[in-house]
Structure 1
Amino acid sequence: MAVIVILALVALFIGLRLYSVLGERTGHEQQPILKPADPDAMVEPRAASPSMVPPSIGDAGDMAYLPTAGPAVRAILAADSSFNVAHFLEGAKAAYRMVLEAYWKGELDGVKSHVDGHVLEAFSDAAAQRKKEGLTLDNRLVAIEQAVIAEAALEKTVAVVTVRFEADIAAVTRNKAGEVVAGSLSDAVQTRDLWTFRRDLAARDPNWLLIETDEEE
């Protein structure tokens, strides 16, 4: 009988440990996105916070940052105890989706406070030119395959982090009549983008500002 009681207590302890690890939620998880580019197969993502939640080293199997970025990432961790790599990358992916979708729709007002002025101007000019030509984008972010910190720097209290995104995007351009003039929703194209974010670690604002976007060659 004593052995049974002991085994029961051990099982209870293990169960509680599993719950504490697996049951914890960060509040920044994304809805799973289906791979097919078919719009009917897409899962509508829930609204995500536009804030860049500062990044702990600890990734789930994938590399969180390139080795060359390691020293600067560790410096940022030392300078800001709230900096968490995994959380930062989740926030970066949410921002990537939010900004891209705002640009595709030509509705950039909602991202003004999260994008640097010259980046916002570039997005706005491109959207305005598209509208002038009578074109609309019917794009879908099918999946973000990987997000990894490619570069990082810390100057005094200002941290700059560049994230490399590998994503599958189904892109379609339509004319005024709604006819497809370029692209296809049935085929997703893999893209590689480099987005750079900046934050003053001494500031109370936890948000990271998007200061540069580029395509990886």
Structure 2
Amino acid sequence: MTTLIILAMVFVFVALRLWSVLGRRTGHEQPMAKADAVLAPRTPAVSVPTTEPAVTPIDNLPSPAAATGLRAISAVDPQFDAVRFVEGAKNAYAMVLEAFWRGDEEQIGQMVETEVAQAFAAAIHEREAVGEHLDNRLVSVEMAQIEDARVENQVAFIRIRFEADIAAVTRDRDGNVIAGSLTDAVPTQDVWTFRRAVRSADPNWILCETDEAA
């Protein structure tokens, strides 16, 4: 019994730390997982791969600007790896969404910039004021693709596009469904931007902007 409790505690700790290793080569990375239209709803599923993701050359990215920017980031941060960053970003995407859906402002605040956290909080307070809560489920992340990357004043920025299917339900204070369905997945597209000071000892990437994809 003691062994099972210890293993459960270790699993929880690892899951909570996934988001903090975006783009870092440690040899033990796990894949990562939107806020509604300002910050649109859905429910994450953070999966743990049994094999390392295949490393793809930066040159294979669709945007030449993104490839150039990623090379610039790698030049100032040799530990950065674009493929692992994308896998980590997918996990962060799911974690932030899950926290938003359950109204966990504290966890959101640990993963996003202040202005973004305030936007999430405003949306949470608005739905709480009318007695609504979200019952959402992330069905799948169909695409997570870097659209742009750059380094400005020793700060790296990476913009990544997510295309996902979600099952979204809004319930009233009594638990009655007032919108959506858990049996029908709705396609959503978002663009999130992460930043990190490349000279910082802190390996964490912070979500600094969320937008709907054009």
Q: Which is greater in Rg?
A: 1
Q: Residues 57 and 71 from structure 1, CA distance in 2 versus in 1: closer, same or farther, beyond 3 angstroms?
A: farther
Query: Which one of 125, 130, 139 corresponds to residue 136 of structure 2?
Result: 139
Q: Do 2:167 and 2:183's aligned partners in 1 also have CA atoms closer than 8 Å?
A: yes
Match of 1:171 in 2: 168
Task: Give 1:173 deviation, angstroms.
Answer: 0.4
Q: Do 1:196 and 1:212's aligned partners in 2 also have CA atoms closer than 8 Å?
A: yes
Task: Give 1:65 deviation, angstroms.
Answer: 5.5
Q: Which amino acid aligns with 1:203?
A: S
TM-superposition CA deviations, 1:140-159 (whole Å, max 9, x none): 11111111111111113110
Match of 1:203 in 2: 200
Query: Which one of 112, 117, 123 corresponds to residue 115 of structure 1?
Result: 112
Q: Residues 28 and 152 from structure 1, CA distance in 2 versus in 1: closer, same or farther, beyond 3 angstroms?
A: same
Q: Residues 201 and 123 from structure 1, CA distance in 2 versus in 1: closer, same or farther, beyond 3 angstroms?
A: same
Show the 5 A alignment for 1:45-124: 45=46, 58-59=55-56, 64=61, 66-124=63-121
Task: Give 1:167 deviation, angstroms.
Answer: 0.8
Task: Give 1:80 deviation, angstroms.
Answer: 1.0
Match of 1:29 in 2: 30
Q: Percent identity?
A: 45
TM-superposition CA deviations, 1:10-38 (whole Å, max 9, x none): xxxxxxxxxxxxxxx9433349xxxxxxx
Task: Give 1:58 deviation, angstroms.
Answer: 3.2
CA distance in 1 between partners of 2:182 and 2:103 (Å): 19
Tell me which of the two structures has the higher relative contact order, counting C-alpha pairs closer than 8 angstroms and 6 or more residues apart: 2
TM-superposition CA deviations, 1:37-74 (whole Å, max 9, x none): xxxxx996469xxxxxxxx99339xx655333111111
| Structure 2 runs not aligned, ≥5 long | 1-25, 33-42
CA distance in 2 between partners of 1:157 and 1:44 (Å): 33
Task: Give 1:115 deviation, angstroms.
Answer: 0.6
Match of 2:149 in 1: 152
Q: Do 1:138 and 1:172's aligned partners in 2 also have CA atoms closer than 8 Å?
A: yes
Using the size of structure 1 for normalisation, the TM-score is: 0.73
Match of 1:194 in 2: 191
Root-mean-square deviation (CA), in Å? 2.7
TM-superposition CA deviations, 1:89-132 (whole Å, max 9, x none): 11111110000000011012123122100100000010011011
Match of 1:182 in 2: 179
Match of 1:214 in 2: 211
CA distance in 1 between partners of 2:101 and 2:62 (Å): 28
Using the size of structure 2 for normalisation, the TM-score is: 0.74
